[in-house]
């Protein structure tokens, strides 16, 4: 059920937890991992993710992200009901109803005749509700890899490098905004052996006014580390640009206020003939 901005976006039913639209920091559409799909080609299934400014409390658990599973092929039969809910609240917020009507024409929503797959229809509805042009997605100009295979603890998942930050899915869903990243480095965690081709990735981050926290993603392919660090370099460049007054976008604007940056240190491991030992420190990106 989608309600006016400043009110709530909620699951149907009064007993379900609710999320104010204003609590959504970023909204993302991400293809589910598939080793046989070419980068940029339509996926069979997608994650739609709402990264929240404040955790959503469900019972004794709190969640920093809301994750929606969406089909990549079949049309979405529930669009009409969602649009009808927004129309019912037109007196409360006509702007929301207008944005939804522009994103999804009433005739298409009512008849389910748009033919668009579920993920595309839901992405339009979420973007309209949030008042943004589109959801964030993997960008090949930012990173040639849409996702990297990784583990968090015993949970296998995917690490998505995005312009707005880095996201681990499916569970637990963890989003680290680009402007909060303090450092990214790789290497074994303690005495854990990851094998000759795998390593751990450490993402240290700190929200404004809070102590830093480190997320560890294990079994990360060593050959993918330079690509991830290039993303860190791009994040740092955007933050520095924002700090100097030339940045645009929500992440850059927030970073400008923080005055933070992520820099990539030169390392001899960039040499083609360098072979690190298991005990050798790995490449690092760090915010000064």
Check: CB of residue 43 under 8 Å from CB of residue 35.
no
Look at 183 and 49; give whichever has higher pLDDT: 49
Distance (Å, whole) CA 192 – CA 163: 31
Q: Is the pLDDT reported for residue 112 higher than 80?
A: no
* pLDDT class of 60 with cuts at 50, 70, 90: confident
Distance (Å, whole) CA 257 – CA 87: 38
What is the pLDDT, as a whole number, of residue 93?
Answer: 61
- Provide mean pLDDT across the span 53-60: 86
Helix orientation angle between 225-243 and 250-258, rounded to the nearest 10 degrees: 70
Q: Is the pLDDT reported for residue 103 higher than 80?
A: no
User: 56 in helix, strand or coil?
Assistant: strand
Look at 129 and 136; give whichever has higher pLDDT: 136
What is the pLDDT, as a whole number, of residue 238?
Answer: 80
Check: CB of residue 64 under 8 Å from CB of residue 52.
yes
Judge residue 205's burial from the number of C-beta atoms within 10 Å of its C-beta, 0-12 exposed, 13-18 middle, 19 or more buried.
Answer: buried
Identify the weakest region by mean pLDDT among 33-37, 43-47, 69-73.
33-37
Q: Is the pLDDT reported for residue 58 higher than 70?
A: yes
Distance (Å, whole) CA 278 – CA 177: 30
Distance (Å, whole) CA 124 – CA 98: 13
User: 209-248 pLDDT, tens per residue?
Assistant: 888 999 999 999 999 999 999 998 888 888 777 767 655 4
Nearest residue to 181 (alpha-carbon basis) of 218, 160, 206? 206
Distance (Å, whole) CA 80 – CA 253: 36
Check: CB of residue 35 under 8 Å from CB of residue 6.
no
* pLDDT class of 78 with cuts at 50, 70, 90: low
Look at 20 and 256; give whichever has higher pLDDT: 20
Nearest residue to 150 (alpha-carbon basis) of 191, 203, 190? 203
What is the pLDDT, as a whole number, of residue 100?
Answer: 73
Q: Is the pLDDT reported for residue 137 higher than 70?
A: yes
With a pLDDT cut of 90, the percent of the chain lying above it is: 39
Q: Is the pLDDT reported for residue 113 higher than 90?
A: no
Distance (Å, whole) CA 148 – CA 39: 12
What is the pLDDT, as a whole number, of residue 267?
Answer: 42
User: 170-199 pLDDT, tens per residue?
Assistant: 988 999 999 899 889 988 765 455 567 899
Identify the weakest region by mean pLDDT among 101-105, 107-111, 172-176.
107-111
In 222-282, DSSP assigns E strands to: 263-264
Distance (Å, whole) CA 232 – CA 168: 16
- Provide mean pLDDT across the span 5-19: 55
User: What is the maximum span of the chain, computed from C-alpha positions, in angstroms?
Assistant: 67
* pLDDT class of 92 with cuts at 50, 70, 90: low
What is the pLDDT, as a whole number, of residue 192?
Answer: 53
* pLDDT class of 48 with cuts at 50, 70, 90: very high
């Amino acid at each position: 059920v989608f309600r006016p901005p400043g009110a709530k976006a909620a699951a149907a039913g009064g007993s379900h937890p609710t999320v104010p639209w204003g609590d959504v920091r970023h909204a993302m559409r991400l293809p589910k991992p598939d080793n046989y799909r070419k980068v940029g080609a339509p996926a069979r299934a997608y994650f739609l993710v709402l990264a929240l400014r404040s955790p959503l409390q469900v019972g004794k658990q709190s969640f920093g992200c809301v994750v929606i599973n969406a089909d990549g092929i079949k049309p979405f039969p529930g669009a009409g009901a969602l649009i009808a809910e927004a129309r019912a609240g037109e007196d409360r917020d006509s702007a929301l109803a207008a944005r939804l009507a522009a994103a999804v024409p009433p005739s298409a929503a009512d008849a389910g005749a748009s033919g668009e797959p579920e993920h595309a229809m839901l992405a339009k509805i979420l973007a309209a509700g949030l008042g943004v042009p589109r959801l964030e997605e993997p960008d090949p100009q930012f990173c040639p890899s849409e996702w990297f295979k990784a583990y968090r603890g015993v949970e296998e998942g995917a690490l998505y490098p995005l312009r707005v930050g880095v996201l681990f899915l499916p569970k637990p869903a963890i989003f680290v905004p680009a402007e909060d990243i303090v450092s990214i480095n790789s290497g074994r965690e303690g005495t854990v052996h990851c094998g000759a081709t795998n390593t751990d990735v450490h993402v240290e981050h700190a929200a404004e006014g809070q102590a830093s926290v480190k997320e560890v993603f294990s079994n990360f392919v060593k050959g993918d580390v330079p690509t991830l660090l290039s993303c860190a370099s791009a994040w740092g460049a955007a933050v520095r640009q924002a700090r100097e007054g030339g940045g645009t976008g929500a992440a850059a604007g927030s970073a400008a206020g923080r005055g933070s940056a992520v820099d990539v240190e030169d390392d001899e491991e960039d040499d083609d003939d360098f072979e690190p030992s298991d005990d050798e420190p790995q490449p690092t990106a760090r915010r000064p």
